[in-house]
Structure formats: structure tokens, C-alpha cells
């Protein structure tokens, strides 16, 4: 406010100050959370609890999303392939799109919707009811106790969920292939299997790992910086969801770019 009187340059700097500070704060939190993975004390119970909430809790919805995306991909791809008389290649396309893109991205978005928001609202309400302060007062580092277990649990569970989603999606594609397109099961599964190269598998596992960091850290970051009562909790919850989703897509593009320019196909 004072700066606006001192000319445009300082005003612009003032405008930039807040986002820059936010980014810095985010990376500080991320750094501390990751450093704590190798430091004692470890809160094993909290990790298990979070794994249950993230992994087991998200399983039904991830299975459903995976299955339907496999079904839809098979239907759409077979129609496009029919123009070239290549309906038999349906399995290849389903497999590639699922492992490279749909599996990681859709699963991450589902988990962001369930768990980024959950973390933001849980940590946010702890913040506004002074529980975070109480935690510090009673001898625990909130980052160690709250953030690190969530990061670890998400980094373990999201890749697993993605693998499940990929597989269920392939099964979904298989049902279409068999009952609608009358492709032989053997042919479908062979084409699914042959389509995948190491490049695809690493890409398909690296993505969920990176997305897991985004999902958990965005949820915790927005939760911990909550201010202003219950209203603030609602706000951080929304922000966490939006930020996580946008970042997932941005990082997806970046990772894909790296792999496309690296691998030939």
C-alpha cells in the first residue's frame, strides 16, 4: 500500500512479492517434509492410518474410473481403427493410453479430489482451532507428525492405485473387445502386452510418484496456511483441489515431453 506511492516499479514488485513468497514457502515445506523422511522420530501409526485412508479408501472409485476409461477407450479407438481396417489393434491403443496417460492422470485427479481436499480441511481445522500450535507446544513438529506421513503414504499408494487402475482399464477394454468387437481374448491380451515398452512403464510409474508429491504437499500446504476460522478452511480446501489438479496437468505435459523426446516411438 505504501509502495504504490513510490512509483510503478515498486508497485509491480509488491504485486509479485506475494506469489514469490508463496512459492518459497511451499518449497520450504516440501523440503522439510522430505528431509524428515530420513529423520527420527518416525510416526509409523500415522503412516499406516494415512495409507488406509488414501489407498483402501480410494480403491472403489479408482477401480470404477479405471474400468470405465478402459471401456470408453476401447469403444472410441475401435471406431477410429475401423476406418483403417485395424480393429485388431484396439488392445495396443487401450494399453498405451492407459499406462501412459489415463491411468496416472485420472487416478491422481481422483485422489486429489478425495485426499488433497481431505488433508487441507483436516490440517486447516487443526490450524484454526490452535491444535497445530498445541502440537508444537507439546513437543512434536507438525511437519514431521502430519505432513511427512501423508507424503510417504501417498507416494506408496498412488503408484499402486495407478497400477490397479491400468489393469482394471485393460480388463474393461477386454470386455468390449470380446463382446462388442469380437476380438479373440488371446489376440487382445497379446497386443496389450506387446504394446508396452520400458519407456512406457517407467513413464507410467514416474508420473504417479510425482503426482503423489503434488497431491499430498498441496493438500498439506494449503491446510497449514489456513487463516480465518471455518470459512478459511473451506477456502483452503478449494485452493488445494484446484492447485493440485492444475499442477497435475502441467507436470503431465512436462514429463510426457521428456519421455517423447527421449524414446523414439
Partner 1 sequence: MAAETPAVLRFENVTVSFDGDVALRDISFAAFEGESRIILGAAGSGKTVLLKTAMGLTKPESGKVFVFGQDISTMPEKRLFDIRGKIGMLFQESALFDSLNIAENVAYPLLNQPSIQCPAAEVMPRVKRTLEFVELGETLEKFPSELSGGMRRRAAIARAVVTEPPLQMYDSPTAGLDPITAHTIMALLIKERDVSQATTLLVTHRYQDGNLMANFRYNSEQGALEPVRNGAQQKSRTTFMVMKEGRLVFESDQDAIESSKDPYIGKFVKQRV
> Over 124-140, what HEC string results?
HHHHHCCHHHHHHHCCC
Q: Is 4 in the site for partner 1 (CB under 8 A)?
A: no
Which lies closer to partner 1 via its Cβ, residue 138 or residue 253?
138
Instruction: Sort 34 into a burial class: Cβ within 10 Å, 0-12 / 13-18 / 19+.
Output: middle
Residue with cell 509409523: 44
> Least separation, in Å, of the C-beta of 12 and partner 1?
20
Q: Is 136 in the site for partner 1 (CB under 8 A)?
A: yes
Which lies closer to partner 1 via its Cβ, residue 22 or residue 130?
130
- Among the listed residues 19, 83, 138, 253, the single contact to partner 1 using CB under 8 A: 138
Q: Is 5 in the site for partner 1 (CB under 8 A)?
A: no
Q: Is 140 in the site for partner 1 (CB under 8 A)?
A: yes
Q: Is 253 in the site for partner 1 (CB under 8 A)?
A: no
Which lies closer to partner 1 via its Cβ, residue 143 or residue 243?
143
Which lies closer to partner 1 via its Cβ, residue 4 or residue 129?
129
- Among the listed residues 5, 84, 137, 264, the single contact to partner 1 using CB under 8 A: 137
Which lies closer to partner 1 via its Cβ, residue 133 or residue 184?
133
Q: Is 25 in the site for partner 1 (CB under 8 A)?
A: no
Nearest one of 64, 249, 33 to 142, comparing CA atoms: 33
Concatenate the DSSP letters of all residues of 56-98 into one string: IHHHHHHHHHHHHHHHHHHHHHHHHHHTTT-GGGHHHHHHHHI
> Least separation, in Å, of the C-beta of 139 and partner 1?
4
Q: Is 218 helix (H, G, I), strand (E, B) or coil?
A: helix
Count CA within 13 A, CB hemisphere, residue 33: 27
Could you give the angle at the alpha carbon of 5 between the alpha carbons of 3 and 11, nearest 5°? 45
Task: Please tell me the count of residues contacting partner 1 according to CB under 8 A.
Answer: 13
Dist CA 173 CA 194 (whole Å):
16
Q: Is 139 in the site for partner 1 (CB under 8 A)?
A: yes
Which lies closer to partner 1 via its Cβ, residue 161 or residue 224?
224
Q: Which residues bind partner 1 (CB under 8 A)?
A: 126, 129-131, 133-141
Amino acid at each position: 500500500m505504501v509502495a504504490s506511492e513510490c512509483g510503478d516499479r515498486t508497485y509491480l514488485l509488491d504485486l509479485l512479492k506475494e506469489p514469490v513468497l508463496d512459492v518459497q514457502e511451499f518449497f520450504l515445506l516440501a523440503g522439510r517434509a522430505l528431509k524428515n523422511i530420513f529423520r527420527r522420530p518416525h510416526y509409523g501409526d500415522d503412516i499406516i492410518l494415512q495409507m488406509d485412508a488414501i489407498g483402501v479408501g480410494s480403491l472403489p472409485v479408482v477401480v470404477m474410473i479405471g474400468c470405465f476409461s478402459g471401456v470408453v477407450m476401447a469403444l472410441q479407438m475401435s471406431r477410429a481403427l475401423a476406418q483403417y481396417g485395424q480393429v485388431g489393434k484396439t488392445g495396443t491403443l487401450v494399453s498405451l493410453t492407459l499406462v501412459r496417460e489415463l491411468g496416472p492422470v485420472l487416478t491422481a485427479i481422483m485422489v486429489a479430489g478425495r485426499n488433497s481436499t481431505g488433508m487441507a480441511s483436516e490440517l486447516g481445522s487443526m490450524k484454526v482451532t490452535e491444535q497445530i500450535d498445541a502440537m508444537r507446544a507439546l513437543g512434536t513438529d507438525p511437519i514431521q507428525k502430519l505432513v511427512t506421513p501423508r507424503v510417504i503414504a501417498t507416494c506408496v499408494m498412488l503408484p499402486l492405485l495407478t497400477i490397479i487402475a491400468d489393469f482394471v482399464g485393460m480388463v474393461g477394454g477386454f470386455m468390449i473387445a470380446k463382446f462388442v468387437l469380437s476380438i479373440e481374448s488371446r489376440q487382445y491380451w497379446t497386443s496389450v502386452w506387446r504394446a508396452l515398452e520400458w519407456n512406457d512403464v517407467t513413464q507410467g510409474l514416474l508420473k504417479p510418484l510425482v503426482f503423489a508429491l503434488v497431491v499430498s504437499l498441496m493438500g498439506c500446504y494449503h491446510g497449514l496456511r489456513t487463516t480465518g476460522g471455518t470459512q478459511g478452511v473451506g477456502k483452503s480446501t478449494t485452493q488445494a483441489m484446484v492447485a493440485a489438479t492444475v499442477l497435475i496437468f502441467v507436470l503431465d505435459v512436462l514429463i510426457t515431453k521428456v519421455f517423447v523426446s527421449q524414446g523414439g516411438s
